[in-house]
A = this chain, B = another copy of it.
């Protein structure tokens, strides 16, 4: 149906004032007379800790799904509060704010992108809720979770997670987020979002190995990364020491200016992914 027709035809969004000027149009809506739709923003925040891909989860303190773990998120603030305060906020800003409030201001994701929206009827038992999911990459924090607005938030290894323990359809959202991360490593330099600068080529390779879940050939990976224009750029310095079990000191790099990798770092195609 056309938006302009739906307003008058089915009464969902009723036009009280029938004059076609904009003023009357704006005043004519009375959506409060009908069942509302809520919009939330949920965040799949990924990091690498202890050589594992981990996701930030918060424990729900109230029903529904009380006691279950869930993705951090919250309702989108409407444009006007009951007290008249204007709080205009973009969806991405909402995602960043939710993340900071859940995990503490110290969690500054180095990458944040929209993942997709989830709006199946019944995904929230209370009402129709459309959730706009965001995907965040953060470098691994050596310390534990900093002081946080949410008492019960923690990083959880994705592999050691029973999907059935997640609230709502968050298991599906998480799976989509991990899929997105895996494929984005192929043709974007986003692996650098998981490490802190400066970093070594080996650290970068460990990002790929952790997210993809497979060992890569160190020598070939090294040469390949350096051959992609703009992926990384040298800092000119080395690590202070060699590895914990020996080996020469590694050269240090920072992020390059490329937005796409060309040629890409393709993972070997799995037959199962190519065919249904």
Give chain A's interface residues, CB within 8 Å of chain B.
1-7, 10-13, 20-22, 25-26, 29, 31-40, 58, 60-64, 66, 70, 72-82, 88-91, 97-98, 101-102, 114, 116-117, 119-122, 125-128, 130, 132, 149-150, 229-230, 257-260, 262, 269, 273-276
* The 4 nearest A-B residue pairs measured at CB: A88-B121, A35-B78, A32-B32, A91-B119
Chain B residues with CB below 8 A from A72, complex form: 2
> A183's closest neighbor in chain B, by CB?
B187
B62 adjacent to A25 (CB under 8 Å): yes
Nearest CB in chain B: distance from A66 CB, A: 7
Give the docked Cα–Cα distance between A28 and B81 (Å).
19
Known: A12-B78, A29-B127. A257 touches B230 (CB 8 A): no
The prevalent SS among residues of A at the interface is loop
Known: A32-B36, A78-B35, A82-B33. A1 touches B89 (CB 8 A): no
30 contacts between A and B (CB under 8 A): A2-B72, A3-B70, A4-B61, A5-B61, A6-B74, A6-B75, A11-B82, A12-B75, A13-B38, A13-B75, A20-B62, A20-B63, A31-B38, A34-B78, A36-B36, A36-B37, A37-B78, A39-B119, A39-B130, A79-B121, A89-B121, A90-B119, A90-B121, A91-B130, A116-B117, A130-B132, A230-B275, A257-B276, A259-B273, A262-B274
Nearest CB in chain B: distance from A199 CB, A: 21
Chain B residues with CB below 8 A from A257, complex form: 275-276
B262 adjacent to A275 (CB under 8 Å): no
B262 adjacent to A269 (CB under 8 Å): yes
Give the docked Cα–Cα distance between A90 and B20 (Å).
32
Give the docked Cα–Cα distance between A273 and B128 (Å).
39
Give the docked Cα–Cα distance between A101 and B73 (Å).
35
Of B1, B3, B125, B260, which contacts A149 at CB under 8 A?
Answer: B1
Nearest CB in chain B: distance from A254 CB, A: 15
Give the docked Cα–Cα distance between A258 and B272 (Å).
10
Give the docked Cα–Cα distance between A120 and B91 (Å).
7
Chain B residues with CB below 8 A from A121, complex form: 79, 88-90
B260 adjacent to A76 (CB under 8 Å): no
> A15's closest neighbor in chain B, by CB?
B62
